[in-house]
Structure 1
Amino acid sequence: MRHPSRHRIIWHEVGHALQYMDFPITPQNVLKKAVLPITRTQVDCLSWLAHTYLGGPYDMPRMWRDYLDPSPYEYVDPEGRPLGMFMEHARPDPDHYRDEGQRRRYGTAHELWKQGVDVVDLVAEASRRYGLDFTLAFRMNDYHHGSWEEHPRWWLEHREMTVGKGRQPEDSSPAAARRISGLDFTHPEVREHVIAPIIAAAECYDVDGIDLDFSRSRPYFPPGEEKPECLTDLVRTVRERLSPVFRKRGREPRILARIYERPTCDDAGMDWRTWMREGLIDALSIGSMYGADYRDVVDVARQHNVEVYAGFDCIAFDLNDTKHFGRLEYFRASCLNYYHQGVNGIFFFNGSALWSGPYPGPVARAMPHLMEVGDPDCLERRSKVYVTGWHVDHKPQLVWSSDPERNPGGTTRLFEVSDNLQDSADCGDLERLILKAEFKLHTPWISELNEWHLIWSRLDTMEYLLNGQPIEPGPIEKDELTPYALNGADINKNWSRVIRFDLTHGPLPVCGQNSFFVRVVEPDGQLVGPRDLLLGRVELHVDYGEPVK
């Protein structure tokens, strides 16, 4: 089922390996975090972030010394003092740093360089030794620095070429400062500023390809002034200028573009169709989460022999309220869905965020995903969890409201399943199948409703349908009530509860799109006053039998 492609899993390293490595600072200790944990897995390409605007030009010292003047990218402090390639002038003295993060980020690269080791050379050589392709990734428009005190020199000298055109942020939040700090790619000078280190790095280092990361970050133009042809011009120029560099090594350049999911990428000015049609890119990584539909992108890519990789931004699974969803069972389901849509492989962006999130502990043990999700055949008949509406940004759907003008009369949630559950049930392989639906109640603070909170769904008459067939919930246990509020008053207004449906003996979801419908048939007459009932997260837990030990 998997379409032939160059890579199964592309692992993107953002620099955490340098920050989390063990001391002392030696080449061997770098490789223990940066390369060894992904060897002998399904990862066959290491995408290494080349830092320019994110944290300064500290991790490609040989390139900055021999191929390109680093001063335009060097950070400058509020007093106008240049901080040096390794932020060495920001230190109280040569061996001390402002904080532990700076010591690990800049100090590691600096100490290796003192030992005569360029970290890019080190990791590239080790990757090849273990049979991995090695690519350098460049963030097209990183503006983390917008909320910092230090900024790249060129940015300070050309603030009129940012999307905010040098104006002050709307408020004091870091997000407001960053939103107006991105470069405006309308200007040819901006595009050349971004392209220069890409070409220099390709000349300096023996890489297998270049990744253009457009997911860091929009906007690329002032709002309402998007010019897709400018981003296309950038990609076209990169291709033209990389071609002679790679041909000297006897091969054509391999370019991967990383973009947001649709329609966000389209609205931001990323004309991926033209990039494919003109042969400007060889691969595309799209998206960052579960539940997207990439079939239209895959259809265009097939016409132009472009590989498509489903992208996951692993930093999304490093938050207290999202760690759970980064576990292997959720990835199995999502990746199998994406393979059924026709993607070639998986792109783990910010991959090392998984170390401290779902599976804390030794690095290699923390990433069981890498042994399975690169091959759909490894995902069939494996226990998994299909999920929709899981992310904190997801807005729950209104099921019923006491306000007749707002009452929708029920709601439907669609979800994809790529397991053939009927075949598994027929052959005795399916052990258990549970559908879980999270319902949220919004009310004013009315004390009389407190006891009702504990017994909801035994009062209102409800209807639940799976693909049009009625399904019955199991008994509600008291410990399934989960408040999501900051204080007691809010708990009385807002809560969520998970309702379970045992589908082991049917009706079974189909392989493909499924619908879950719910409505309030008759609200309980004892309960008066305003209240809304909403549908939140929906999960399908598929448990296959394990071999007898």
Structure 2
Amino acid sequence: MSIEVKRQGQKVPYKCLYNHELLILFTTQTPYQRYDDNVTDEQVIGYVKELQGTQVDALMCCPQAWRTNLWYSEIDRRWQDEAPLEREPLPEANWNYNDKAYFRARRYMLQHKDPIALSLKTAREIGIDFFIAYRMNDHHYVKNTQAQTHGSFWRNHPEYWLEPSGAAFNYLVPEVRDYYFSLLKELAENYDIDGMELDFMRSPRYFPDNQIADGIPIMNEFVARIRLMLDDIGESRGKKLSLSVRVPHRPEEAVKIGLDVESWDQEGLIDMVNVSSYFRTSLEIGIEDYKRRISNARIYGELHFITNIGSSRSSLGYANNINRKTTREIYETAALQYWRRGVDGISFFNFAYTRDHGFHEPRRKEFPGKEPSFDILNTICELSHLERQPQHYFIGTGYGTFPADQEKTFDMYIVPEGRFSSGMLRVETDTDTARLPLIANFNGVKLQEKVETGELFAPFSLECLPPQERVRYFELPTELVKSGDNVVHLTNNDPYKKATFVGVEVALYR
């Protein structure tokens, strides 16, 4: 099917995007809602109003609880036809995490509530725009085909699943694309949105691995179809509806899963490209790569509430949602770096998930939830503020630099605004390094090792901090630091004992 696109991409002004997954209403304790009580409208309103006065100017509302849609849809009639007939299994104490979240949502939805409409109304009241951010292939619990959060379309059509069985939907199937399109069209028609985000990162697999080339033109047509739909609805309302896409951290990684973002931009299909490192804040996202290829859409650098999934887990053996949390210094340093590298805006994903979302899980007692640091959002777009702060650069595993065995040379992009009193470089490995002759060079100069302990800055929580036996500290003279790429060279000079480098941090103190 050929689709004629009526418009070319236009610039949109947003500086700070904030992803708000409605699932969080039912999984967290907040100042508005405790686990002891059923969820009320106060929770829905509170989660939006807490952004009032910040620099967030677009709320990216995800209307899903994993694979459950949180509106009274005529495409997916769960709340009308299925949920009223369900019974909560007893005893409640035996519920798994999925059940706890689902039945908490069900109690709220069966009161004929509309959390999307209430979130939209509240966003309007505090003066921020409202997007629908839909997860295009959510993977949660797909291995458990009987999970409560799966709808009838999923259960009734296993022939639409990607292999191995249960690995989300196959977009080569026209019925799958029609299903998602119908849901997005219904959302755009039912709610007075300002735009829509196609969240291709939840989860980033759409075609069989051996049919990616076949999938690219199909996905191109699918995105064009959504663009045309938004144009038609926007024209009927006398407003422009923007289209954002949340995509992998580099253009070539997007192409590998069938997403030709460059073509979408050239054809004027998209207004915003949200460059995502999926689930963790990473300075290794390809801002420059996207800037070279994207000429119409605005580019956003994404930040997450997690910095790393560390090697030190709970002493009780519990690993679910135990991660190293992003600190104020890392948020502000990453934001400043992104601005200097040329982004048009910043985006936040899962910012509020620092709260308790463990349903009183006893094994989480040593890691209680904490309230998010919302004041970070007050100045995250204010360069004059960011330039005055201490800086904390972090590079972990998974995006290109690490892990690395025995020796590694890499660039670290630094924005050394103003004067700093001192600097420190910390190296993390996957093993005890106490007796290893580790050497760190910075811009060709060998650094002097220092005997230190603890974190470079106060951590947000104690979750997944690296064990002291796996980190080493090196004094970093500030005069060595230059603006832009700095060359870091790490070596383990022990020819007999292997060390795998898994992280490097640079702290610059005021």
* TM, length-normalised to structure 2: 0.79
Gapped regions of structure 1 (runs ≥ 5)? 76-82, 170-176, 400-409, 425-429, 443-452, 481-493, 524-528, 545-549
**In structure 2, distance between residues paired with 1:208 and 1:362:** 32
Is structure 2 residue 508 aligned with structure 1 residue 536? no
Equivalent residues of 2:25, 2:39 under 8 A apart = no
**How far apart are residue 372 of structure 1 and its match?**
3.0
Q: Counterpart of 1:473 in 2: which secondary structure?
A: strand
**In structure 1, distance between residues paired with 2:229 and 2:176:** 17
Pairing of 1:115-126 with structure 2 (within 5 A): 117-126=113-122
Identity %: 21
Q: Which residue of 2 aligns with 1:346?
A: 346
Q: Which residue of 2 aligns with 1:127?
A: 123
Report the AA paired with residue 171 of structure 2: F
CA 1:518/1:28 → structure 2, altered by over 3 Å: closer, same or farther? closer
Report the AA paired with residue 308 of structure 1: I
Equivalent residues of 1:182, 1:218 under 8 A apart = no
**In structure 2, distance between residues paired with 1:96 and 1:104:** 13
Q: Which residue of 2 aligns with 1:312?
A: 303
**In structure 1, distance between residues paired with 2:140 and 2:430:** 35
**How far apart are residue 256 of structure 1 and its match?**
0.7
**In structure 1, distance between residues paired with 2:276 and 2:60:** 17
Q: Which residue of 1 aligns with 2:445?
A: 469
Equivalent residues of 1:91, 1:98 under 8 A apart = no
Equivalent residues of 1:48, 1:137 under 8 A apart = yes
Equivalent residues of 1:332, 1:384 under 8 A apart = yes
**In structure 1, distance between residues paired with 2:431 and 2:95:** 47
Q: Counterpart of 2:206 in 1: which secondary structure?
A: coil
Q: Which residue of 1 aligns with 2:138?
A: 142
Is structure 2 residue 344 aligned with structure 1 residue 371? no
Report the AA paired with residue 28 of structure 1: E
RMSD: 3.5
> Any idea what the Cα deviations from partners look like across 1:112-162, whole Å, max 9, x if unmatched?
662x54211111001110011111111111232422214432233332222
* Greater mean alpha carbon deviation, residues 317-326 or residues 430-439: 317-326
**In structure 2, distance between residues paired with 1:214 and 1:380:** 33
| Aligned mate of 2:253, from 240, 254, 264 | 264
| Aligned mate of 2:471, from 494, 498, 506 | 498
Q: Which residue of 1 aligns with 2:319?
A: none
* TM, length-normalised to structure 1: 0.74
**In structure 2, distance between residues paired with 1:392 and 1:295:** 15
Is structure 2 residue 263 aligned with structure 1 residue 290? no
Is structure 2 residue 88 aligned with structure 1 residue 91? yes
**In structure 2, distance between residues paired with 1:479 and 1:42:** 29
> RCO higher in 1 or 2 (8 Å CA, sep ≥ 6)?
2
**In structure 2, distance between residues paired with 1:253 and 1:189:** 25
Q: Which residue of 2 aligns with 1:160?
A: 159
**How far apart are residue 88 of structure 1 and its match?**
5.2
CA 1:497/1:249 → structure 2, altered by over 3 Å: closer, same or farther? same
Equivalent residues of 1:13, 1:46 under 8 A apart = no
* Greater mean alpha carbon deviation, residues 352-361 or residues 276-285: 352-361
**How far apart are residue 463 of structure 1 and its match?**
5.1
Q: Which residue of 1 aligns with 2:426?
A: 436
**How far apart are residue 277 of structure 1 and its match?**
0.8
* Greater mean alpha carbon deviation, residues 369-378 or residues 242-251: 369-378
Is structure 2 residue 176 aligned with structure 1 residue 190? yes
Q: Which residue of 1 aligns with 2:76?
A: 70
Q: Which residue of 2 aligns with 1:446?
A: none
**In structure 2, distance between residues paired with 1:381 and 1:503:** 19
Is structure 2 residue 18 aligned with structure 1 residue 10? yes
> Any idea what the Cα deviations from partners look like across 1:332-352, whole Å, max 9, x if unmatched?
222222112211122222332
* Equivalent pairs, count: 456
Equivalent residues of 2:75, 2:182 under 8 A apart = no
**In structure 2, distance between residues paired with 1:411 and 1:361:** 36
Equivalent residues of 1:416, 1:513 under 8 A apart = yes
**In structure 2, distance between residues paired with 1:314 and 1:385:** 15
Report the AA paired with residue 431 of structure 1: S
Q: Which residue of 1 aligns with 2:196?
A: 210
**How far apart are residue 97 of structure 1 and its match?**
10
Report the AA paired with residue 291 of structure 1: L
Equivalent residues of 1:19, 1:104 under 8 A apart = yes
* Greater mean alpha carbon deviation, residues 432-441 or residues 386-395: 386-395
**In structure 2, distance between residues paired with 1:147 and 1:383:** 44
Gapped regions of structure 2 (runs ≥ 5)? 1-10, 314-321, 358-365, 457-466
> Any idea what the Cα deviations from partners look like across 1:368-426, whole Å, max 9, x if unmatched?
43223233332112012111125699743223xxxxxxxxxx43132110123xx51xx
Q: Which residue of 2 aligns with 1:407?
A: none
> Any idea what the Cα deviations from partners look like across 1:6-60, whole Å, max 9, x if unmatched?
232333334202432344643234312x1122221121111111228x3423x21
**How far apart are residue 235 of structure 1 and its match?**
0.7
**How far apart are residue 183 of structure 1 and its match?**
1.4
Q: Which residue of 2 aligns with 1:486?
A: none
Q: Counterpart of 1:46 in 2: which secondary structure?
A: strand
Q: Which residue of 1 aligns with 2:328?
A: 328
